[in-house]
Chain A
Amino acid sequence: MKVANWGNYPVVDAEVRNFRNVDELREILENGSSLIARGLGRCYGDSSLNETIISTSKWKRILDFDRQTGKVKCEAGVSLDDILKVFVPRGWFPAVTPGTKFVTIGGAIASDVHGKSHHVTGSFSNYVDDITIMLSDGRILTCSKELNADLFWSTCGGMGLTGVILEATISLIPIETSYIIQEVVKTKNIGEIMTLFEESEAWTYSMAWIDCLATGESLGRSVMMRGEHAKHEDLLSDRSRKQPLTLHKESSLNVPFNFPSFTLNGLSMKAFNTLYYAKAPAQYKKSIVHYDPFFYPLDAVHNWNRIYGKRGFVQYQFVLPKENSREGLPAILRKISEHGKGSFLAVLKLFGPQETVISFPMEGYALALDFPITKNLFPFLDSLDEMVQYYGGRIYLTKDARMSAETFRNGYPHLGMFEKSRTKFDREQKFESLQSKRLGL
């Protein structure tokens, strides 16, 4: 069966195995020699691809909920969409959420995902109380920050290479309403937006759309969105006050097939970027919006990735240490705008401090851009890799489909620790992905 993740690159012919109980999973592990777990395939590249894939799509039950503490225990295939549907009406929300709700809890842990709140909440692993995992020899172990901590810290961000996550307990945060007080602020260039990020550190949520094609004085012009969960008294209309915890609606828009690859040429991207910037309000606008468009604007159109056509695209996301960002970010942006290949979805975030074994975030600026795959894209990305390394940054594994083993090693200084616990726990050395093989892991 042909399988690809969100970027539609690479596409592999894989055997996809489901399990409905632990015995079935154990049997798959016994009979397999090179396996990787897969959730909803929202990583962009090859992290959850291999000749044999273990899908968690039949493993998605919610097992326990404590209405006093907001702790949820569930199987790894439960999605954030499920969590929202079940718990928002009861006044609970995931503390950390990526830009799409169609990810599984297993995937969120394995990538140790971050959201717009990283500078306040840290990454997903901060709200994971414990993880139960099946190792390659069929043993089932539970780990947490206290118990089997080495397994815990190499599983969070470990891209499925330690074993198959079976269950996890995560902590939700209480909300009074399902709405967000949002401020939209426009800035003229990269210097301004960085200053604004630093001034916005007290806001729980912040991110910016950045126009990667603007040049000169306007290099890095951006639109920041920052937000807080609205309290009951913040709601303006009677209707929303009466129903403060309304849920998101199922989206009905869909891109039914791959667009031909000429649709997204440089010109249309430039037009889109200019439009996006122009559409934003004059300088500043405050409003109350539902969580769905605030956190998940892209979920409104199912299969939007198909606009990049059959050849697919890659997302390039890197983070630079904060102290090097004032110099490094403009330099990298200049390189991208010179190249004229920037995407219309470029997102800038400021991470707070984090130093864990193999997770992506570190204190500094993170930029994510989409690039449709063209003939000379990869050499260009190699040259970006060099700049990222020069400024002491790293690239996000869950978005990656092409970086070299060397770039990877240079970016992740605690790799030795990861490899040590992987050797300890993946005794039979069965878990690997196309990505881990490419990166020499």
Chain B
Amino acid sequence: MGRVLLIGAKSDVARALAHEFGAAGYDLILAARKSRELERDRADLMIRYNVGVQVEELDITDLEQLHTWYATLEPKPDTAISVVGLLGVQEEAQADWQSAKRAYETNLTGPALLLETIAADFEQRNEGTICGISSVAGERGRKSNYLYGSAKAGFSEYLSGLRNRLAKSNVHVVTVKPGFIDTKMTEGMPLPAPLTAQPEQVAKDIFKACMKKKNVIYTLWMWRWIMAIIRNIPEPIFKKLDL
């Protein structure tokens, strides 16, 4: 079996992914900031699935360090999934330049730079799967979260380009576009239940997409159609909407 690197391993989605891949027999590398908390997850995953689990400290906004971090990571994974993300509060990010910078670094610059390093390794080894969790928020900018949304848009386009570059190699690239997920990121928000996925469901979809070498998936599936409609609203109307 392979070895999966989960970037942003403390998120609910990453934790569900660890169970999904662990149950299938994959060894796991859990990378996160303040990673000490993950020692408990390590024990849990090892007891449940009898797989190897290692915990690594990683701050995705530590841009200068990302290259070295991966270069010194041993052993190397053959699947890498970027789950990191920062929704933040739009008004705060608008008012505070540092906070806007953090949103871009966490959602776009950091993950893209790290995956770029990983892609070079996978391409050279001619094997592997790279998966990035983007968001439907990246499909059309709106006032309530365009800093986050535009970073995710950039990340989606990054993955699209990477997929195109690696299409002739044996390395596959999956883009995941979740709609709403019931996680720490959205705790306390009034999300519409039928459109909101549980992290376990999202993890199952991602696992399947990696196994079946899908290119772009939406989870839950109806978001593909919801976004098709939203993308097609004419701009003169869209700009006046309260979204």
Chain A residues within 8 Å of B, Cβ to Cβ: 18, 20-21, 58, 61-65, 75, 82, 86
The answer on a CB contact under 8 Å between B184 and A61 is no
- Say how far B46's CB is from chain A's closest CB, in angstroms: 9
The answer on a CB contact under 8 Å between A21 and B187 is no
| Cα A64 to Cα B10 with chains together (Å) | 20
Residue of B nearest to A22 (CB): B37
Question: In terms of DSSP, what is the predominant structure of the interface of chain B?
Answer: helix
| Cα A58 to Cα B19 with chains together (Å) | 13
Chain A residue numbers with a CB within 8 Å of B40 are: 61, 63, 75
Determine whether B24 belongs to the interface, using a CB cutoff of 8 Å to chain A.
Answer: no
- Say how far A257's CB is from chain B's closest CB, in angstroms: 13
Chain A residue numbers with a CB within 8 Å of B127 are: none
- Say how far A169's CB is from chain B's closest CB, in angstroms: 14
Name B36-72 residues within 8 Å CB distance of A: 37, 40-41, 43-44, 47-48
The answer on a CB contact under 8 Å between A63 and B184 is no
Residue of B nearest to A73 (CB): B43
| Cα A61 to Cα B44 with chains together (Å) | 5
The answer on a CB contact under 8 Å between A63 and B37 is no
- Say how far B45's CB is from chain A's closest CB, in angstroms: 9
- Chain B residues with a Cβ closer than 8 Å to the other chain, count: 11
Most buried by A among B12, B37, B40, B47: B47
The answer on a CB contact under 8 Å between B184 and A20 is yes
| Cα A58 to Cα B187 with chains together (Å) | 12
Most buried by B among A18, A61, A62, A75: A61
The answer on a CB contact under 8 Å between A18 and B43 is no
The answer on a CB contact under 8 Å between A86 and B12 is no
- Say how far B217's CB is from chain A's closest CB, in angstroms: 23
The answer on a CB contact under 8 Å between A61 and B12 is no
- Say how far A73's CB is from chain B's closest CB, in angstroms: 9
| Cα A65 to Cα B41 with chains together (Å) | 14
| Cα A58 to Cα B40 with chains together (Å) | 13
Most buried by A among B41, B44, B48, B187: B44
| Cα A108 to Cα B170 with chains together (Å) | 50
- Say how far A115's CB is from chain B's closest CB, in angstroms: 24
6 additional contacts, CB 8 Å, given A21-B37, A61-B40, A61-B41?
A: A20-B10, A58-B12, A62-B47, A63-B40, A63-B43, A86-B47
| Cα A397 to Cα B184 with chains together (Å) | 33
| Cα A64 to Cα B48 with chains together (Å) | 10
Closest 9 CB pairs of A and B: A61-B44, A62-B47, A61-B40, A62-B44, A63-B43, A65-B47, A86-B48, A21-B37, A61-B41
Chain A residue numbers with a CB within 8 Å of B43 are: 61-64
| Cα A410 to Cα B92 with chains together (Å) | 57
| Cα A5 to Cα B10 with chains together (Å) | 29
- Say how far B93's CB is from chain A's closest CB, in angstroms: 24
Residue of B nearest to A65 (CB): B47
Could you list 15 A-B pairs, sorted by A, with CB under 8 Å?
A20-B10, A20-B184, A61-B40, A61-B41, A62-B43, A62-B47, A63-B40, A63-B43, A63-B44, A64-B43, A64-B47, A65-B47, A75-B40, A82-B48, A86-B47
| Cα A64 to Cα B47 with chains together (Å) | 7
Chain B residue numbers with a CB within 8 Å of A82 are: 48
Q: 1/0 contact trace for B1-26 toward A, CB 8 Å?
A: 00000000010100000000000000
Residue of A nearest to B36 (CB): A21
- Say how far B235's CB is from chain A's closest CB, in angstroms: 37
- Say how far B122's CB is from chain A's closest CB, in angstroms: 31
| Cα A75 to Cα B44 with chains together (Å) | 10
| Cα A86 to Cα B187 with chains together (Å) | 30
Q: 1/0 contact trace for B177-191 toward A, CB 8 Å?
A: 000000010010000
Residue of A nearest to B23 (CB): A85
- Say how far B25's CB is from chain A's closest CB, in angstroms: 14
- Say how far B182's CB is from chain A's closest CB, in angstroms: 10
Chain B residue numbers with a CB within 8 Å of A21 are: 37
- Say how far B70's CB is from chain A's closest CB, in angstroms: 27
- Say how far A267's CB is from chain B's closest CB, in angstroms: 36
- Say how far B4's CB is from chain A's closest CB, in angstroms: 19
Chain A residue numbers with a CB within 8 Å of B12 are: 58
Chain A residue numbers with a CB within 8 Å of B184 are: 18, 20
The answer on a CB contact under 8 Å between A62 and B37 is no
| Cα A391 to Cα B8 with chains together (Å) | 60
Chain B residue numbers with a CB within 8 Å of A61 are: 40-41, 43-44
Chain A residue numbers with a CB within 8 Å of B48 are: 62, 82, 86
- Say how far A84's CB is from chain B's closest CB, in angstroms: 12
Most buried by B among A62, A65, A82: A62
Chain B residue numbers with a CB within 8 Å of A63 are: 40, 43-44, 47
Residue of B nearest to A21 (CB): B37
| Cα A21 to Cα B38 with chains together (Å) | 10
- Say how far A200's CB is from chain B's closest CB, in angstroms: 37
Residue of B nearest to A59 (CB): B40
Chain B residue numbers with a CB within 8 Å of A64 are: 43, 47
